[in-house]
Structure 1
Amino acid sequence: MLDATTHHVSTDEQHRRTASCRIREITVTPVAFADPPLLNSVGVHEPFALRAIIVVHTENGHYGLGETYGDEAHVARLRRAAEELIGADPFNLNLIARLVSQSLAQDDGQGGHGTGGMVTTTSLDDRVLSAFNVACLDIQGKILGLPVSTLLGGCVREHVDFSGYLFYKWANHPGQEPDRWGAAVDPAGIVSQARIMVNDYGFRALKLKGGVFPPDLEAEAVEALHQEFPDIPLRLDPNGVWSVPTAIKVGHRLESSLEYLEDPCLSIADNAAVRAEVALPLATNMCVVAFDDLPPAIEAKAVDIVLSDHHFWGGLSRSKLLSGMAETFGLRLSMHSNSHLGISFAAMIHLAAATENIDYACDTHWPWKREEDDVIVPGVLSIHEGRVKVPTAPGLGIELDVQALARMHQQYLDCGLRQRNDTGYMQSIDPSYELKSPRW
């Protein structure tokens, strides 16, 4: 196992160490981990989720970790970028960003989004840069003896709050045994799932992934959650598959039940039309997913909350830039989640810890992952009372488990999946399933 700990060093020692720090080698390893049959607006999760693990090694013996999407096209881009970064200074984040962009100059930008087709308009450069930015900050922290949260400006909170992420789901993948969560295909099933989230993890906010069943049924599930947990803030995310009239109707119905409504419609214009008619705040991780999206969204008054995601926005450094823009224009922030492992979780925690206006509980898929499915040494990251203590060891504060990485790469090779395809998997089970937007 590689050791992520170091000691605080003097200023002279810091200068000496950083002067000899160059990137010597980068490995990009795709991995797979078990994923439950979670339903969403474009289909259902496949039996395995894919991620790519980045390990950046320096000449002076340090290493940094990054994690991102594992689709085959994305992995190919990561490897091209990695070749450009050999010999670069991991403290020169501007150079790192330029070299990544240079590696993508001839790329068509198609494919490899890793989000099941739900979010496809993110910046290609930022999507590839993100894992390298995190890894370089991890290296910086280890060399300087400082946690990444300090490099991002310092902690404004010692714990980061997360929301319990509820999904409609089947009891099992076809041919597999039922999992511990059981089925959730109606309001009673969603409430039962929420009880596990609250009892086992202490979540003090809950989010339901919608866009699966007719909106009235999903509104009924939210109302059942509100009745069961009257003091817990609730969110509903239809993933942009409602029409404007449907979103306005359901928005009015749930004004007293929801903390905010996330992406009722897909476009900035449609969400602006909904926001003009309902009192609920609107959040997004679909119509504002890159810096180019901010001016039209702000002008249209389409959303109140941007769900930041460092995998979309170019890593932790550019996510801090987003937080400054949000503060300037009166937007609030939370954090979006995709199926992830411990490296991404640690990065999310450091970013939220150092970003004052990420003041809503953040999303996470962490409870849906099996404990044995990770590439980091366990014991650092855990959810208690709905929150996670911010690591204080240098860098991200986590260690790579080399044996686990090899095991999960073999799992990737064995599972046969090379891209995420929620729609294709659903259609293999239900040939009549059609992808529609808006669906209702």
Structure 2
Amino acid sequence: MIIREVRVTPVAFRDPPLLNAAGVHEPWALRTVVEVVTDEGLSGLGETYGDLGHLTKVRECAEALVGLDVHATHEMYARIGAIVGDVVSDLHGLTGAATKEKSVDRVFSTFEVACLDIRGKAAGVPVSDLLGGRVREAVPYSAYLFYKWAGHPGQEPDRFGEALDPAGVVAQAAMLIKEYGFTSIKLKGGVFPPEQEIEAILALREAFPGMPLRLDPNAAWSVETSIRVGRALDGVLQYLEDPTPEISGMAAVAGQVPMKLATNMCVVTQEHLPPAIEQRAIGVLLLDHHYWGGLVRSAQVAALCDTFGLELSMHSNSHLGISLAAMTHLAAATPNLTHACDTHTPWQDGQDVVAPGALRFEGGAVVAPTGPGLGVELDRDALAAMHEQYLTCGITARDDTTYMRRFEPAFSPGRPRW
């Protein structure tokens, strides 16, 4: 099955004003949809970031892959590695340090997913079968809570409402749990002083007793503050995610707090695993196939984590249904991924480029698609509409910090902040 054409389509979709340590989400989120078409007429889908620098590399690499067999992923990786060159910037800074390896992996991953989609269709099996087969029929996801404004400044309030205090956070959780049936909760922190975020977590425990809780301040705290917060939330958190910067900082905290530490920031490529393991810096790794080099490489990392006793969850960024399908296939086929995964799907509020019906939440979990390949199909009308939005929205790269400074000129994303 030879690649004859690769179509690369940038898209934009509306995003609420979600606050985080780097600033606030802009009114439009960007993604890139990739379609790989073979000489046999089969096509496969991939989804990746939409920032212009990354999009440019994806387009350059797409041209270099024409003529390759969809099974030739080693050659595909080598060609992409030769093209990517310098590090691709990560402006919003919430997925860890940029490295050459990570830059290659994040470009490669979208093509790998599309080729797995094709290979699954050709064999008549779901992608999860290509990864070893499902070990769970449905993949649990968490209610992913954010502090947020009522709406983007100058626009009408959105349906999610304001969440700037514990009561607002609890109301947001109640809405998402009612709509999706989530059975665990994660709060994006690093927005307010730690004492306020401790109050929000305690309010969630009171409102949803027994439900697993997580807090992720995106490395906004010092080692000392991280230890203080960790001890204050003893017996409350399932895990504390990226409280402080760097492997060394996480290691200094890990031995002083009662809960496991998780990361998607200080361990983002395989070269980070040995020092993190040696220093006992983390207990939970959040996989993300978008920057770990696709589904197969993520499965390899999962096996390595199992060897060293690291638990697994899954990281999420603003994404659409192609990514949700890929994430679900990976989690369904990974035995030691036992924590509920993150997802931004509720914040997309029904906007998608995949035809409805293939992906559904039941009791907070997404049923793993059983159709061939990823099990999803493009909604071409939606793709065209979102591409037009990309052309007219005026945003070419995600920049939470600059957008926040339009309204709070003194805002600084420096770490640690507290």
Is TM > 0.5 for Structure 1 vs Structure 2? Answer: yes
TM class by shorter-chain length? Answer: over 0.9
Which amino acid in the other structure matches residue 148 of structure 1?
Answer: V
* C-alpha distance after superposition, 1:289-334 (max 9, x if no partner): 1111000000000000000000010000100110111011111110
Structure 1 counterpart SS, 2:406: helix
Could you tell me the TM-score, scaled by structure 2's length?
0.98
Aligned to 1:197: 176
* C-alpha distance after superposition, 1:85-134 (max 9, x if no partner): 00000012222212211222xx22142x3645553325111011110010
1:430 aligns to 2:405 (yes or no): no
Matches within 5 A, 1:132-281: 132-281=111-260
Matches within 5 A, 1:394-433: 394-433=372-411
Alpha-carbon distance in structure 2 between the residues aligned to 1:54 and 1:217: 42
2:97 to 106, 120, 141: 120
Matches within 5 A, 1:323-334: 323-334=302-313
Alpha-carbon distance in structure 2 between the residues aligned to 1:199 and 1:374: 21
Aligned to 1:378: 356
Alpha-carbon distance in structure 2 between the residues aligned to 1:89 and 1:317: 17
1:36 aligns to 2:20 (yes or no): no
Alpha-carbon distance in structure 2 between the residues aligned to 1:115 and 1:205: 26
Aligned to 1:303: 282
1:81 to 48, 61, 66: 61
Do the aligned partners of 2:150 and 2:162 also contact (CA within 8 Å) in 1?
Answer: yes
Structure 2 counterpart SS, 1:406: helix
Unaligned runs of 5+ in 1: 1-20
Matches within 5 A, 1:285-304: 285-304=264-283
Alpha-carbon distance in structure 1 between the residues aligned to 2:373 and 2:145: 31
Q: CA deviation at 1:431?
A: 1.1
* C-alpha distance after superposition, 1:242-263 (max 9, x if no partner): 0011000010000111100000
Structure 1 counterpart SS, 2:250: helix
Alpha-carbon distance in structure 1 between the residues aligned to 2:308 and 2:167: 40
Do the aligned partners of 1:37 and 1:44 also contact (CA within 8 Å) in 2?
Answer: yes
Do the aligned partners of 2:94 and 2:218 also contact (CA within 8 Å) in 1?
Answer: no
Aligned to 2:327: 348
* C-alpha distance after superposition, 1:23-56 (max 9, x if no partner): 0000111100000000000100000000000000
Which amino acid in the other structure matches residue 87 of structure 1?
Answer: G
Do the aligned partners of 1:30 and 1:53 also contact (CA within 8 Å) in 2?
Answer: yes
Do the aligned partners of 1:116 and 1:420 also contact (CA within 8 Å) in 2?
Answer: no
Aligned to 1:24: 4
Q: CA deviation at 1:285?
A: 0.2
Give me the identity figure in percent. 56
* C-alpha distance after superposition, 1:380-407 (max 9, x if no partner): 1121211010000000000011221111
Aligned to 1:54: 34
Alpha-carbon distance in structure 2 between the residues aligned to 1:33 and 1:138: 24
Alpha-carbon distance in structure 2 between the residues aligned to 1:51 and 1:435: 24
Alpha-carbon distance in structure 2 between the residues aligned to 1:96 and 1:147: 22
Do the aligned partners of 1:117 and 1:421 also contact (CA within 8 Å) in 2?
Answer: no
1:362 aligns to 2:341 (yes or no): yes
Alpha-carbon distance in structure 1 between the residues aligned to 2:235 and 2:199: 13
Choose 292-301 or 118-127, whichever is displaced more.
Answer: 118-127
Question: Cα distance 1:161–1:225, how it changes in 2: closer, same or farther (>3 A)?
Answer: same
Do the aligned partners of 1:167 and 1:184 also contact (CA within 8 Å) in 2?
Answer: yes
Which amino acid in the other structure matches residue 102 of structure 1?
Answer: A
Could you tell me the TM-score, scaled by structure 1's length?
0.93
Alpha-carbon distance in structure 2 between the residues aligned to 1:397 and 1:88: 24
